Structure 1
Amino acid sequence: MKVLKFGGSSVANSKNIKQVLSIIAKTSQHQKVVVVVSAFGKTTNNLLSGANNALQDIESAKEILDKIKELHFQVIDDLIIKKKKEVSENVEYLFSKLLSIYDGIFLLKELSNKTLAKISSFGERLSSYIIANAANENLDAIHKESRDLIITNDDYLNAQVNFEITNKKIDDFFNDNSHQITLLGGFISSNKINETTTLGRGGSDYSAAIYAAALNADELQIWTDVSGMFTANPREVKQAFAIPEISYEEAMELSHFGAKVLYPPTIQPSLRKEIPIRIKNTFEPENKGTLISKNPKNINEVKGISHIENISLITLEGGGMIGIPGFSKRLFETLSSAKINVVFITQASSEHSICVGIYENDAQKAKLLLDETFSIEINRKKIKPIIVENDLAIIAVVGESMKNYQGLSGQMFSALGKNNVNVRAIAQGSSEKNISAVINKSDAKKALNTLHEQFFEENIKQINLFVTGVGNVGERFLAQLNQQKKHLKKNLKLNIRVIGLSNSRKMVFDEKGIDLKNWKELLANGEPTSLEKFFNRTKQCNLRNSIFVDNTANQAVSEVYESYLRQSIGVVTCNKIACASQLENYKTLKAVSRKYNAPFLFETNVGAGLPIIDTLKNLINSGDSVHKIQAVLSGSLNFVFNNFDKNSTFHDVVLQAQKEGYTEPDPKIDLSGVDVARKILILARESGYDLELDDIAKNAFLPEESLNTANNDDFYGSLTKNEAHFQQIFAAANDKNCRLKYVAEFANGKANVGLQHIPADHPFYNLEGSDNIVLFFTDRYPENPLIIKGAGAGADVTASGIFADIIRTTK
């Protein structure tokens, strides 16, 4: 025999009930079946709403009742033919009784628990009767009132079952019942004098478990609208999946911590008899769902991650508690007497404090009662007044086999810490089936996704990008990312998504990931932006593994890096301004990055896509010391002087460099030497030297007129006007059989940049196109330097450098 329970969503309407009947028919082909049903979808809530309305307004109560009635008669019309008249008359009679009760509430202006129980029972009384008759159209089915079989005490709304009487009544009935299918209403019961009682929250599941245990069923099936118990709430964690098998204890833990598929008391009767429970999806009946049993197959040491929101922490603390017995007893007695449920407990071994988690709507009441209970100790300053913290959530990692694996709690808290999820309290039982942590409610979704990724997603790591700047570099970066998405997921186990995107005018956000095939259209139709708005939206998203990507050369953008880092949002940038700013700011950014465990990477600040900074870091971290650096660090200047000769004009070559994306938007930054000075400054700082930008000597080759221009038009005009000056520079080098290179040097703690004549035997002489070259002279490379050479400018290589930095953040 199997016991099948169908929830409210499964019997919400005629279409769903037809599906339920199909499942019942298939299951009952070779065995007897007991079917327990909930009220039709939302009927119980509507019945109670009508009752509350009846206290003041009987007409509004009647309107609600009419809507309930309409649904039930629609099901009768759709599904019942043989006994339609008889069923309709009986249902009409039940609704007339309901209306009489509403009238009584209105006249007496009173609504007791006894009346509430009686009213709420009508949902299951109606649904089980109608579905039983619908089943009888083609199947051998009988209806039986659960109130005749499940006997309880007199707690009308949360009744306790008398199992001795109940089990005998169930046994007696089914011994005489020859029908293949028995339909019963869940949730409802009665006391010893036949007054209606109800089994409280999750009562229909509980009813089904009571029948399964009493009948020693082969299996209890809970049919709902999801395909089992999931590794996490699928509404919050899109990657969550159904758990194939799980133990009773694990299921209870997950249910207690918010897994709403199952209510914890449901498991108790079945657990005592070791009856397997299977969670199934009414709308995907072929799906195997989740099997709950005594000895499940352990596929994963962590079985699920769950959470409870709207939690408050109540803390009792003070030096007067140490070594004095009775504080815990008084604390829990006070809460118990007020029927305040404690869902979390932790106490330090120092006995200085006790911390308990309760539901937020009980917090104020708890504080008043506990302040009164401990008023003497509080007045004598032995303990502090009760501390209440609100807007919290409990997140729990559950798995019976966790005790056999070392380091799981370390993985849990490390993953949370890396994503700036602050843990307020921790609890773990000696059985090690559950590790619970109290966190801010606003961090719950991020924490769930972070832990699910840590324990379940085959090491696939999700990276969430917030990108500003979609010019040459930004556009190429998005194209490269779109092109490589499948490769990254398959080979590097990375799922990189762009969540936010902005330019100087508009921004667009999509927490599911922006479609990179039509990002231009989406951005064009986005909302107005500002640096503050973009930061606030990024912070509000509160996603794990978040990275802010700056593809601009804008100073204002560089000034918001610290704000992102303090939120544990990494920063990847090709913008050199921040790292070349005041030394104090540079050091602050590096320190904040370390403190908040937020990556701050800027490989493209020097050499675009070349691994210059990364190589330098590896040298320093491995114990080497840099003594001297010689470099050609401007791809734009190298391009300019490689293409400038007596047959060309300086103006035209610079304009070509800008059009091909080698220069900054303002080419004067490159040609004035400021850009190169920033780069050698960054290398010196990364080598461990404290320098400011003003410390770097700049040997300018531009005329004063060009340096003093205020815009690009004037700048290019000055280049044309001073063509003879540039031709003279070229001729001076050419006469010596030398080439012009703009060189950056650092030695003995000092740095300089300037145009130099490079002879044919120098490593810089044959540097072509827009290539960069860096020579590191160190302890390990004193005579023959470590040389890095390659393309050092251009949108594609810069974009690839940003891409590489984002991948580095995952290491």
Structure 2
Amino acid sequence: MKLLKFGGTSLANAEKFLCVADIIEKNIQNKKIAAVLSAPAKITNYLVQTIDNIIKNDNNAQNINIAENIFLELIHNIKKIQPYFCYESIVKLIKIEFKKLKYMIDGIILLQQCPDNVRAILISRGEILSVLIMKYILEARKHNIIVIDPVKNLISKGHYLDSTVNIPRSKKIINKINTTHADIILMAGFIAGNKKEELVVLGRNGSDYSAAVLAACLNASCCEIWTDVDGVFTSDPREVIDSYLLKSISYQEAMELSYFGAKVLHPRTIEPIAQFKIPCIIKNTNNLKSPGTLICEENKTEKNFLKGVTHLDNIVMFSISGSSIKNTLSITGRIFTAIAQKKIKIVLITQSSSEHTINFCVLENYMNSVKSALTEEFRLELKEKILNPISIEKELSILSIVGSYIRMKHNIASKIFYILGSSNINILAIAQGSSQHSISMVVNKKNILNAVKIIHNTMFSNKKIITVFLIGIGGVGSTLIQQILQQQNFLNEKNINIKICVIANSKKILIVNNGINLSCWEKEFKKSQEQFSLEKLISLTRKHHFLNPTIIDCTSDQYLSEEYSAFLKNGFNIVTSNKKANTNNFEYYTKIRKIALNTNKKFFYETNVGAGLPIISTLKQLLNTGDTVIKCQGILSGSLSFIFGKLEEGVLLSQATKEAKNLGFTEPHPADDLSGIDVARKILILAREMGYHKELKDVKIEPILPQNFKKYQDINEFLLKIKDVDSYFVEKTKKAQKEGKVLRFVGTIDKKGQCTVKIEEINITDPLYKIKNGENVIAFYSKYYQPVPLVLKGYGAGNNVTASGIFSDLLRTIS
């Protein structure tokens, strides 16, 4: 005997009803099939709402008519598809049932209350009618059907709205039913009967529970739960994109997952199948090809001992404490007893060894009941101040990691703590050891989705994910996208997943939460009509809890750079080629670093100084290893390196500047390069990295061009006027060459920390002598590197090297 159970979404319309009938038929292979059915989707909700509306003095019983029309439309559509379906007979039966329901509703309206026994009858009509419809479908297909009445055959005890079945007694009754003439057994889910043979319902997920009970009563070889998901996943796939389907899990693992929030099965469903060792398979009526998940006594197919990450929300934590608690006998027992009398379950409990503090968690909707029960129980202790006032912490969630004998794995807890700690997620309480198969911890509800994603990503998928918010798609930004696209295969081999979810410029923004298709991003960006705003970036990450969210700033925007502190506070890493933040006032410079340190976020800006050259990281390594930089000197502008190299070759300044602009070496306006301010910013950044408290005004700039050139804002006019100084630079170049020297635009930090930026004559022995054609160079003279300096050189301009430097910084965010 195999038992099949079908949920409401599997019976939502005529096509789905007939699909369920097909599944039942295909499972008949020389053995009988039993099927338990829920009400069609939404029916129970309409029936509940009808009652609730009346009790709230809203006598509108329209929902009952909606429910009736759903059934009538359902069977009307079945008639169109299923031959020999007894449509007229079932229409009469449905109308009779709803006539009875409406009569009951009239009584509720009159009394303005609904007794629980009446409520149970009303809310269970959907299941009874589902069985009736399925019986007629299968009989139309020439099958012999027997319907088990759960009221007479499932004997239960408890409340009308939340009963528990006595399986041994029910089994004896069901075994007396003669089923020899039938090949299919049908039963309505959710329903049972009490000792008075009154209808009762089985509470939350009651249909699944009654299916497990019937499987035990019939000694079924297997129980299949058909629903609208493929099976049990390592986490909720709606929350964690990288979650994957588990082939199998043990009863104990399934129990832990369901107890702490997994919604595929309720713990009550697992108890009967585990007790009677009945294999259970979760399958999907919307995806018949999916193998589903097997729940069995011993899990043999899953290699990974970890099975899932789940969470239970809307938790409150009570703390009972006091220096005299240790002298009060049975304090823990009294807590349990007081709460048990209210029929409330404690979800998690932790206790200090000395019993000075006891923390326990319950669902939030029980908070007031628990508080009143404890206040009454410990009235004297609270009055005499033997106990401190009862503390309640709200807005909490419980995060659980489930796996086979997880408490035996020596490094799991420490790994979890490290992962959450690195993400600034505080653990308020932990329970480990009480279960062999799970570790549970209490965290703030606002952090729970982020915690689940981080734990799952680190411990299940082994993927290093970076979620990128790219701002600025000029030459550097566009090149960076192309470089990331070209490296996809390499990144996949290294288990690195860079998801660019946002691409923006100053005017508009493209957002794709699961990652933009980089092969056609320009086309998609042009289609986007959404205006750009910084607030959208922060609200996006709060809403979707992206993993490792990272702002990449490829602009030179001052306002954007002033928002770095807000980005860091809201959980972003920052990778930037924009020098404005690091050359803002020193107070802001230090503020960014303090926030990054306190939030444990990365702030990388290698391209601020040398494009793709590792100048800043090299300087930090020197300082971190105890070296002292005495002096540094460099050519830190690719555009000026190119221009002054061309002067050496006899090219006029105006022509060299024009060439540099055409090659993309300069800023949009070449005046920004020739003013020396760009090099001054780079020197300021290096000085600050070396520990000098400097402002931009402290960098002495000897400009290349006369002051009156500042007025030429038009680029073409500027390039025309620059010809006026060509002759001056021809003479200056020749003079240097006569002395065996070359002209270079040099930034210097001397041993006193003085910063200068100016044209210098460089002799042939200097490391700066041969630097031209867009190259950059920095020479560090230090305690360890003298008289021969540590020299870094390479291209310091161009989209490719700058984008490469940003790419390198981006990968460092997951180191």
Assess same fold via TM > 0.5. Answer: yes
Residues 213-362 of structure 1: matches in 2 within 5 Å? 213-297=216-300, 298-362=302-366
Write out per-residue CA displacement over residues 66-91 of structure 1, whole angstroms, 9 at most, x where no aligned residue. 32442453365244626444444444
Question: Which residue number in structure 2 is paired with residue 805 of structure 1?
Answer: 809
Residues 1-40 of structure 1: matches in 2 within 5 Å? 1-40=1-40
Shift of 1:243: 0.8
SS in 2 for 1:288: coil
Q: Does 1:743 align with 2:742?
A: no
Tell me if structure 2 keeps the 8 A contact 1:40–1:123. Answer: yes
Tell me if structure 2 keeps the 8 A contact 1:583–1:691. Answer: yes
CA distance in 1, matches of 2:237, 2:633: 56
Write out per-residue CA displacement over residues 446-465 of structure 1, whole angstroms, 9 at most, x where no aligned residue. 222211111221x2222111
Residues 393-408 of structure 1: matches in 2 within 5 Å? 393-408=397-412
Shift of 1:19: 1.6
Q: Which residue identity does 1:679 align to in structure 2?
A: K
Q: Does 1:452 align with 2:456?
A: yes
Tell me if structure 1 keeps the 8 A contact 2:736–2:742. Answer: yes
Question: Which residue number in structure 1 is paired with residue 445 of structure 2?
Answer: 441
Note closer, same or farther for the CA distance 1:241–1:226 as it changes in structure 2 (3 Å cut).
same
Note closer, same or farther for the CA distance 1:67–1:367 as it changes in structure 2 (3 Å cut).
same
Question: Which residue number in structure 2 is paired with residue 163 of structure 1?
Answer: 167
Shift of 1:276: 1.2
CA distance in 2, matches of 1:499, 1:25: 46
Greater Cα offset, 743-752 or 110-119: 743-752
CA distance in 2, matches of 1:73, 1:207: 25
Q: Does 1:597 align with 2:600?
A: yes
Gaps of 5+ in 2: none
CA distance in 1, matches of 2:283, 2:47: 28
Shift of 1:697: 4.0
CA distance in 2, matches of 1:14, 1:541: 36
Q: Does 1:209 align with 2:212?
A: yes
Shift of 1:444: 2.7
133, 136, 143: which one aligns with 2:136: 133
Q: Which residue identity does 1:385 align to in structure 2?
A: P
492, 515, 538: which one aligns with 1:513: 515
Gaps of 5+ in 1: none
Shift of 1:721: 4.0
Tell me if structure 2 keeps the 8 A contact 1:743–1:754. Answer: yes
SS in 1 for 2:246: coil
Write out per-residue CA displacement over residues 652-696 of structure 1, whole angstroms, 9 at most, x where no aligned residue. 432432343322345444323332233233334434555544454
Tell me if structure 2 keeps the 8 A contact 1:117–1:197. Answer: yes
CA distance in 2, matches of 1:381, 1:715: 82
Shift of 1:294: 1.3
Question: Which residue number in structure 2 is paired with residue 413 of structure 1?
Answer: 417
500, 503, 513: which one aligns with 2:502: 500
Tell me if structure 1 keeps the 8 A contact 2:648–2:743. Answer: no
Note closer, same or farther for the CA distance 1:370–1:714 as it changes in structure 2 (3 Å cut).
farther
Q: Which residue identity does 1:664 align to in structure 2?
A: E
Greater Cα offset, 58-67 or 502-511: 58-67
Note closer, same or farther for the CA distance 1:323–1:593 as it changes in structure 2 (3 Å cut).
farther
CA distance in 2, matches of 1:613, 1:58: 72
Tell me if structure 1 keeps the 8 A contact 2:167–2:216. Answer: no
Greater Cα offset, 40-49 or 421-430: 421-430
Fraction of identical pairs, as percent: 37
Residues 663-674 of structure 1: matches in 2 within 5 Å? 663-674=666-677
Q: Does 1:96 align with 2:68?
A: no
Residues 565-644 of structure 1: matches in 2 within 5 Å? 565-644=568-647
SS in 2 for 1:680: helix
SS in 1 for 2:395: strand
CA distance in 1, matches of 2:201, 2:134: 20
CA distance in 2, matches of 1:278, 1:629: 69
Note closer, same or farther for the CA distance 1:646–1:487 as it changes in structure 2 (3 Å cut).
closer
Shift of 1:780: 4.2
Shift of 1:631: 1.8
Q: Does 1:392 align with 2:396?
A: yes
CA distance in 2, matches of 1:88, 1:696: 90
SS in 1 for 2:360: strand
Q: Does 1:701 align with 2:704?
A: yes
Write out per-residue CA displacement over residues 392-426 of structure 1, whole angstroms, 9 at most, x where no aligned residue. 32221111232232221222232223333333332
Write out per-residue CA displacement over residues 692-750 of structure 1, whole angstroms, 9 at most, x where no aligned residue. 44454444333232367777677657634444433333232233242211122334243
Greater Cα offset, 565-574 or 241-250: 565-574
Write out per-residue CA displacement over residues 523-551 of structure 1, whole angstroms, 9 at most, x where no aligned residue. 67343334455444445443220111111
Question: Which residue number in structure 1 is paired with residue 468 of structure 2?
Answer: 465
CA distance in 2, matches of 1:485, 1:526: 28
Question: Which residue number in structure 2 is paired with residue 181 of structure 1?
Answer: 184
Greater Cα offset, 127-136 or 312-321: 312-321
CA distance in 1, matches of 2:723, 2:68: 87
561, 565, 590: which one aligns with 2:564: 561
Shift of 1:27: 1.3
CA distance in 2, matches of 1:761, 1:616: 23
Write out per-residue CA displacement over residues 615-655 of structure 1, whole angstroms, 9 at most, x where no aligned residue. 33334444444333232111111111112369654234324
Count of residues paired in the alignment: 808
Write out per-residue CA displacement over residues 341-381 of structure 1, whole angstroms, 9 at most, x where no aligned residue. 33222233353333222222333454455445545544555
Shift of 1:335: 3.3
Tell me if structure 2 keeps the 8 A contact 1:673–1:700. Answer: yes
CA distance in 2, matches of 1:115, 1:587: 69
Tell me if structure 1 keeps the 8 A contact 2:767–2:779. Answer: no
CA distance in 2, matches of 1:486, 1:597: 30
CA distance in 2, matches of 1:735, 1:536: 63
Note closer, same or farther for the CA distance 1:532–1:164 as it changes in structure 2 (3 Å cut).
closer
CA distance in 1, matches of 2:324, 2:529: 59
